[in-house]
């Protein structure tokens, strides 16, 4: 009888024991290593992060914005450790020294060729199941943003960068990416 090959399962300790500078996410015992972001990715991240922070500050909002790397433990069992590009958390009780424990209110992922499948499928399902209220997938290659308003169970909407993209968790707030040179 041939020996069975056992798949190695990883846990949160393996994430914490990564070499300095190495980043990865943990989903159901599997580690998904992350490559360094490119310049356009960082331009988009910085722009959106700044727009959200300005809006919250000008409106005396109570939510906080955290750009990657920032730890998000979607479920209490630590089986899903993610580092979304941008996390907006409105419930301060979810925050501790490790990061966010539970679903952020709004998550934004900026895709790259290496993360496309994860962002469009795997993470979408995880975020829906965890209770994320709003999820954006920003695609710098197609110059589009897909918005999932999961709080209201609406069909996803696709916005070109030239359009004002309405933010579901904040009435009257939208983001326009047309000024970005990418």
For 92-141, write each residue's pLDDT tens digit.
Answer: 999 999 999 999 999 999 999 888 999 999 999 999 999 999 999 999 99
Rounded CA Rg of the chain: 17
Q: Is the pLDDT of residue 5 over 70?
A: no
For residue 4, the model assigns a pLDDT of 65
| Cβ neighbours for 152, distance < 8 A, ≥ 6 positions apart | 168
182 pLDDT band, cuts 50/70/90, is confident
46 is written with which tokens? 């910085």
């Amino acid at each position: 009888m041939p020996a069975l090959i056992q798949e190695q399962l990883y846990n949160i300790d393996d994430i914490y024991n990564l070499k300095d500078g190495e980043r990865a996410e943990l989903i159901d015992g599997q580690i998904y290593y992350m490559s360094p972001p490119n310049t356009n990715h960082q331009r988009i991240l910085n722009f959106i992060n700044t727009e959200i922070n300005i809006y919250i500050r000008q409106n005396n909002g109570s939510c906080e914005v955290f750009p990657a790397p920032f730890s998000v433990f979607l479920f209490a069992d630590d089986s899903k450790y993610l580092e979304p590009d941008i996390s907006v958390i409105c419930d301060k009780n979810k925050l501790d020294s490790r990061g966010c424990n539970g679903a952020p209110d709004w998550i934004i992922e900026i895709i790259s060729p290496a993360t496309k499948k994860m962002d469009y499928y795997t993470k979408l399902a995880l975020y829906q199941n965890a209770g994320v209220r709003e999820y954006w997938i920003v695609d710098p290659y197609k110059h589009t943003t897909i918005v999932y308003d999961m709080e209201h169970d609406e069909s996803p909407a696709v916005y070109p960068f030239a359009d004002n993209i309405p933010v579901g968790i904040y009435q009257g707030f939208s983001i326009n990416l047309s000024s970005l040179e990418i």
